[in-house]
């Protein structure tokens, strides 16, 4: 007999654009779960979810927690995960829905799944279409060509990350660059100048970078604005902007490794001839 408790959690992504980017399995969980708990900013997507869910809780209002003295985004995310867990503990099948992919730059789903499993509940994540998936399609870049590094902008600024300028770089949340308070949802020119100064260790200021925003509904146009790296502090950066930095240098062979691989191939040729 299984010890699994009755409540269940399924975290799904709604994609970046509701029309067409929701997977059939995510839709089935949204329609059939006892309750849908969602943090989906697009109003049309929200209305649609509310319309088909048996019961619905919207988490967006929780973001105003950051206005309370002593609280920051981490408290907001904790309260969202706790709200999800309360419904699982009540024995319900809970579908937690997030825009894009529920597990990419979205810690709430990871927190809720870890907590649910630790308490003995079944908890799974279904993948969704993320901003990164859309930018690969919209900009027309294949991460396989040069390799890709992908990180959060403020994390890049405050940690000793090392960038490889021969790779494609994806910097998430540049619109929040440099906010150490974890209370703001914007950046400013002073913070962006510090970002540019750090990027200038790897790239010339003339290097062209891309400000990308996927369309979130079929009537909207995507944004693919190319700007000089040095002009980034005065560019328009929004909460939904992703910064894409194409490679600035050609990849260099690692001849020592190539020599080792060739030596193995040569040795196996010699042993085949001897056999």
- Contact positions toward ligand SAM, by CB under 6 A? 16, 98, 100-101, 104-106, 130-131, 172-173, 175, 212-214, 216, 239-240, 242
CB of 57 to ligand SAM, least distance (A): 19
d(CA 37, CA 148): 33
Catalytic residue among 99, 121, 203, 212: 99
- The DSSP call for residue 222 is P
Nearer to ligand SAM, 189 or 239 (CB): 239
What are the structure tokens assigned to 95, written together? 């579908």
Q: Is 77 a catalytic residue?
A: yes
Catalytic residue among 17, 29, 46, 73: 73
CB of 43 to ligand SAM, least distance (A): 14
Distances (CA, A) of 241 to 35, 137, 145, 238: 31, 16, 23, 5
CB of 5 to ligand SAM, least distance (A): 28
Q: List the one residue out of 210, 219, 179 whose CA is nearest residue 42.
A: 219
Nearer to ligand SAM, 64 or 260 (CB): 64
Q: Which residue is nearest to ligand SAM (CB)?
A: 100
Nearer to ligand SAM, 46 or 101 (CB): 101
Q: How many other CB atoms are there within 10 angstroms of residue 179's CB atom?
A: 19
- Local structure of 150: helix, strand or coil: strand
Q: Is 63 a catalytic residue?
A: no
Q: What share of the chain is helix, strand, coil (3-state, %, to 5)?
A: 40, 20, 40
Catalytic residue among 77, 121, 203, 212: 77
- The DSSP call for residue 15 is B
Nearer to ligand SAM, 117 or 238 (CB): 238
What are the structure tokens assigned to 188, written together? 């400013």
d(CA 102, CA 25): 14
CB of 47 to ligand SAM, least distance (A): 18
Q: Which residues are bridge partners to 244 per DSSP?
A: 170, 210
> CB of 150 within 8 A of CB of 168?
no
CB of 220 to ligand SAM, least distance (A): 9
Nearer to ligand SAM, 121 or 172 (CB): 172
Q: List the one residue out of 21, 53, 6 whose CA is nearest residue 214.
A: 21
Catalytic residues: 73, 77, 99
């Amino acid at each position: 007999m299984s010890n699994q408790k009755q409540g269940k959690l399924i975290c799904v992504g709604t994609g970046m654009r509701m029309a067409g980017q929701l997977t059939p399995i995510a839709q089935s969980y949204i329609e059939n779960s006892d309750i849908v708990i969602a943090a989906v900013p697009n109003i049309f997507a929200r209305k649609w979810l509310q319309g088909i869910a048996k019961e619905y809780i919207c988490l967006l209002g929780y973001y105003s927690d950051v206005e309370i003295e002593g609280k920051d985004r981490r408290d907001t995310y904790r309260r969202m995960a706790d709200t999800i867990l309360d419904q699982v503990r009540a024995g319900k099948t809970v579908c937690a829905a997030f825009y894009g992919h529920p597990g990419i730059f979205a810690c709430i789903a990871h927190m809720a799944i870890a907590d649910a499993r630790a308490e003995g509940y079944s908890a799974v994540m279904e993948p969704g279409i993320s901003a990164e998936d859309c930018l690969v399609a919209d900009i027309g870049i294949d991460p396989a060509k040069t390799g890709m590094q992908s990180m959060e902008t403020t994390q890049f600024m405050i940690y000793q990350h090392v960038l490889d300028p021969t790779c494609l770089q994806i910097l998430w949340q540049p619109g929040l660059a440099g906010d150490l308070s974890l209370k703001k949802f914007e950046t400013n020119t002073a913070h962006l100048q510090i970002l540019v100064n750090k990027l200038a260790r790897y790239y010339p200021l003339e290097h062209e970078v891309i400000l990308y925003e996927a369309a979130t509904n079929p009537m909207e146009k995507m944004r693919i604005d190319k700007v000089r790296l040095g002009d980034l502090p005065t560019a328009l950066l929004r909460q939904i902007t992703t910064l894409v930095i194409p490679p600035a240098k050609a990849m260099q062979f690692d001849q020592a490794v190539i020599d080792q691989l060739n030596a193995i191939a040569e040795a196996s040729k010699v042993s085949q001839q001897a056999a």
